Amino acid sequence: MSQLIDITRPLHNGTPEWPGDTPVAFDFAARIADGDAVNVGRLTISPHNGTHADAPYHYNDEGIPIDQVPLETYMGPARVVDIRDWDAITIERLEAIDAGSAERLLLRSGAWSSPDVFPETWPLMQPNVPAWLTAQGVKLIGLDAPSVDELTSKDLPIHLACNAVGLFIMENLLLDDAPPGDYELIALPLRLRGADGSPVRAILRTTD
């Protein structure tokens, strides 16, 4: 029997946001305890808080927004790879583990040493990796780090390298309970018209 593994980081007041981005804020506009008929929440969020999908529009003003990314990008066969001992993500290391045979590649770097402390460093893809991945048939790269680029990057070379070859990006996955191997990924973004990204509820289903 297949099992479900939730690979979504919980969102809550205090979830660390990218420095300078909008923090998560959740409270109640109405509460039964205060005499209202129902509980009604109120949420402020950035599309890039927690586990999320980047739209090409996030890093390319001519790119498509999240509501136009094909849904099949975020559903289908996926492979989890443990890269916690890697200094960098290179073609040679990916070739050595046959990572190019996965349509959706999810990389566990262990970047988040604590869920309450925003990480400052994580393994980065070399600039030639996105083109190599798409040449192998990979359509989505997902990682447990906050970005495919480094924290201080202003020109986003890896985002742009992914954009140039049509490789889609998910960030801030929670892969601690997902052993390396092959799964089915289900991680649909919200249908936010014209948005630069979206939170996702990312799930892995084990395959028999």
Determine the pLDDT at residue 55: 98
Give residue 18's pLDDT.
97
Pairwise CA distance, residues 114 & 136, whole Å: 34
Query: Residue 116: what pLDDT?
Result: 95
> What pLDDT sits at residue 207?
82
Give me the CATH number covering residue 124: 3.50.30.50
From the candidates 12, 48, 52, 58, give the one annotated as an active-site residue: 58
**What are the distances in angstroms from CA 204 to CA 35, 51, 100, 106, 148?**
41, 14, 19, 11, 21
Q: Distance between CA atoms of 128 and 88, rounded to whole angstroms? A: 12
Q: Which mean pLDDT values do the consecutive 10-residue runs of the chain (208 residues) have?
A: 95 97 98 98 98 98 97 97 96 92 96 95 97 97 98 96 98 97 97 98 92
Instruction: For residues 128 and 145, give the distance between their C-alpha atoms in angstroms, rounded to a whole number.
Output: 19
The answer to whether residues 71 and 188 touch, using CB atoms and an 8 Å cutoff, is: yes
What's the domain count of the chain?
Answer: 1
Whether residue 58 lies in the annotated active site: yes
Q: Which residue range forms the structural domain that includes residue 194?
A: 4-206
Amino acid at 104: R
